[in-house]
């Protein structure tokens, strides 16, 4: 198996109140493959201590660093204060297609934010985001499963973009 060189920016993930432990486990496994540096588990998001997370992650929960935060808005605020650009994967009036962006905001530190399977990203977190992106949908459904959407976005951000935009 070929291992890709990791020359892309530092990317972390913030999971805001994800309900399904299976989705979280799948996100951990995909995060390992996409060389995601850290996962922030916020609110009700299950941690790797949950047997369904570890069952789905197949050991990736031991390979990707993670932190639990009770308050997602506060976690997002702290990351922004540390210099991270927050990029929400969220269908919104002002979001851009994932495939129309050519680079990330002008910092090498990026946090991809994903929200609850039903209610999306907390509005307080959205207000802190530098950018909102969405995956274009052609069918009648308006969104994908959060773990599937994460996989598409993570690999595109990791391997499909050029250098960061200047602010």
Task: For 19-43, write each residue's pLDDT tens digit.
Answer: 999 999 999 999 999 999 999 999 9
CA distance linking residue 18 with residue 147, whole number of Å: 10
Domain 10-159 -> CATH class:
alpha beta
DSSP H helices, 47-145, are: 51-57, 72-81, 123-128
| pLDDT for the residue 8 | 54
State pLDDT tens for residues 85-124: 999 999 888 999 999 887 666 667 899 999 999 999 999 9
Strand order in the sheet with 38-42: 65-69, 38-42, 10-16, 109-114, 85-89, 131-134, 96-97
pTM for this one?
Answer: 0.89
CB 12 within 8 A of CB 84: yes
Confidence of residue 137 (pLDDT cuts 50, 70, 90): very high
**What is the Cα–Cα distance from 80 to 74, expressed in whole angstroms?**
10
- Contact at 8 Å (CB) between 73 and 122? yes
Give the domain ranges of the chain. 10-159
* 114 backbone dihedrals φ, ψ, rounded to 5°: -125, 140
Strand partners of residue 89: 133
């Amino acid at each position: 198996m070929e291992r890709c060189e990791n020359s892309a920016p530092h990317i972390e993930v913030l999971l805001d109140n994800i309900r399904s432990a299976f989705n979280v486990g799948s996100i951990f496994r995909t995060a390992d493959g996409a060389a995601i540096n850290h996962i922030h588990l916020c609110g009700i998001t299950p941690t790797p201590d949950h047997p369904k997370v570890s069952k789905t992650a197949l050991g990736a929960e031991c390979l990707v660093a993670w932190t639990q935060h009770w308050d997602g808005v506060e976690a997002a605020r702290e990351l922004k204060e540390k210099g991270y650009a927050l990029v929400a994967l969220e269908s919104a009036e002002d979001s851009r297609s994932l495939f129309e962006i050519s680079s990330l905001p002008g910092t090498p530190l990026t946090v991809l934010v994903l929200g609850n399977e039903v209610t999306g990203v907390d509005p307080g977190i959205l207000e802190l985001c530098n950018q909102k992106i969405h995956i274009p949908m052609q069918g009648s459904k308006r969104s994908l499963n959060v773990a599937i959407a994460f996989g598409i976005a993570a690999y595109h951000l990791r391997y499909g973009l050029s250098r960061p935009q200047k602010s």
